[in-house]
Chains A and B, each alone.
Chain A
Amino acid sequence: MAIADAVRALEGKFKILAKTEFRGETTLTIEREAIHDLALFCRDDLGFTYLVDVSSVDYFGEEPRFEMVYELVQFEKNEHLRVKFRVSEDDLTVPTVSDVWPTADWHEREVFDMMGIRFNGHPDLRRILMWEGYPYYPLRKDFPLAGRPSDVPGVAFTKAAPLEGGPFVTVPSTATTKDREPRARPLS
């Protein structure tokens, strides 16, 4: 089934809030509640048997703040479909699709670990990169790159890493790259 037919089928069955085409890629924006049914429909009726990725975006300062992004592929015609929807910070829960595509299990754990979005119905929603007890969600826009101090005794600790004055920090100025890069400066 070509992608145009797939989109038509989806439009007839689900509420599509927006549809964009960019360089041959189709993106559908849907409602959060529809994602599980839409996932089942895409897999069983439209042939999107492969979930490439589940990711999330933090539009800090906007409302709703977060956005979930699902990348689907069907092998039959080599078609690609992107499905997105927004999630509000006040209700950070999303229906899981890990029962539709098992690969979503770890992807959703990563989204939970890095953004703090919870997945209803997920079989094993633990942190996947950071450790149990780490108190922050590090990919959120209000989390500093340098990190924040934390401590889980016996497991791990973190310290804030200073971002200025280090040996690998380029100095902002109009000088040439050679003069701005750290090794060009005399060590004080």
Chain B
Amino acid sequence: MPAEAPVAYDSKIEGNVIITRIDAAMNWMRKNSLWPMPMGLACCAIELMATGASRFDIARFGAEVMRFSPRQSDVMIVAGTVTYKMALAVKRIWDQMCEPKWCIAMGACASTGGMYRSYAVLQGIDQLIPVDVYISGCPPRPEALLEGLMRLQRKIDTEPALHDQKKQFFAELRA
């Protein structure tokens, strides 16, 4: 063994070091452990439950930890008809979620109001909170929700993680 060990290479740790960008590492960790806030408001919530159960198993995509506290969740899945009576409550729960956060509008009602063109139903949750992924269907099958989740994962992959961190916080500071 030479007296002075080489600085750049050590056979003892060979294969145990991965070099990447911090953005990519953070995004990889974020997208594979999205904790959903299940905002189950109507029949879509049944499909959401099916997605979480054994047959479809949302745990395969790291999103099985349903948090019923907004402070511990990353992605709000708005599953169902958002009535005007519920709308501000959904908005308030969204406001309580920590950055970074994402939103999936699951089904026709959450996306556009669906078949409820009426005095009582908000015509799409995107009128109140920013939506990342819209899922069509009435209600969507669990496969569709999983596809939406995978699309969200792909979207997170492209986000500059550090730059976007606390974006809402900084935007409020500037305002």
**B115 pairs with A159, CB closer than 8 A:** no
A146 touches B85 (CB 8 A): no
Q: Does A2 contact B (CB under 8 A)?
A: no
- The binding surface of chain A is classed by DSSP as loop
A18 contacts chain B at the CB level, 8 A cutoff:
no
Within A130-170, which residues are at the interface with B (CB < 8 Å)? 130-131, 136, 138, 143-148, 154-159, 161-163, 166-169
Q: A161-B113, A167-B112, A168-B114 are in contact. Are A147 and B85 (CB under 8 A)?
A: no
Q: Which of B87, B108, B115, B117 contacts A146 (CB 8 A)?
A: B117
CB pair B112 A148 closer than 8 Å: no
What B residues does A148 contact at CB under 8 A?
119
Residues in chain B near residue A163, CB distance under 8 A: 117
Q: A131-B85, A156-B84, A156-B88 are in contact. Are A161 and B115 (CB under 8 A)?
A: no
Question: When the two chains form their complex, are residues A146 and B119 in contact, meaning their CB atoms are under 8 A apart?
Answer: yes
**Are A161 and B118 closer than 8 Å at their CB atoms?**
yes
Bound-state Cα–Cα, A157 to B128, Å:
11
Determine the residue in chain B with the shortest Cβ distance to A154: B88
Query: Digit string of B152-175 for contact with A (CB within 8 Å is 1, else 0)?
Result: 000000000000000000000000
The yes or no answer to B121 lying at the interface (CB within 8 A) is yes
Contact check, B117 vs A166: say whether CB atoms are below 8 A apart. Answer: yes
Residue of A nearest to B112 (CB): A167
CB distance from B171 to the nearest CB of A (A): 23
**In the complex the two chains form, what is the Cα distance from A159 to B120 in whole Å?**
9
Whether B85 contacts A159 by the Cβ 8 Å rule is: no
Contact present for B88 and A146 (CB under 8 Å): no
The 0/1 profile, CB within 8 Å of A marked 1, for residues 10-50 of chain B is 00000000000000000000000000000000000000000
Q: Can you list 10 A-B contacts (CB < 8 A)?
A: A131-B85, A138-B119, A145-B117, A146-B117, A157-B84, A157-B88, A158-B84, A166-B117, A167-B112, A168-B112
Question: What residues of B have a CB within 8 angstroms of the CB of A159 in the complex?
Answer: 123, 127
Contacts of B113 in A (CB 8 A): 161
The residue of chain A having its C-beta at the shortest distance from the C-beta of B119 within the complex is A147
On chain B, the residues within 8 Å of A145 by CB distance are 117-119
What mask results when residues 96 to 129 of chain B are scored 1 for a CB within 8 Å of chain A, else 0?
A: 0000000000001000111101111101000100
Q: Mark A59-88, 1 if CB is under 8 A from B, else 0.
A: 000000000000000000000000000000
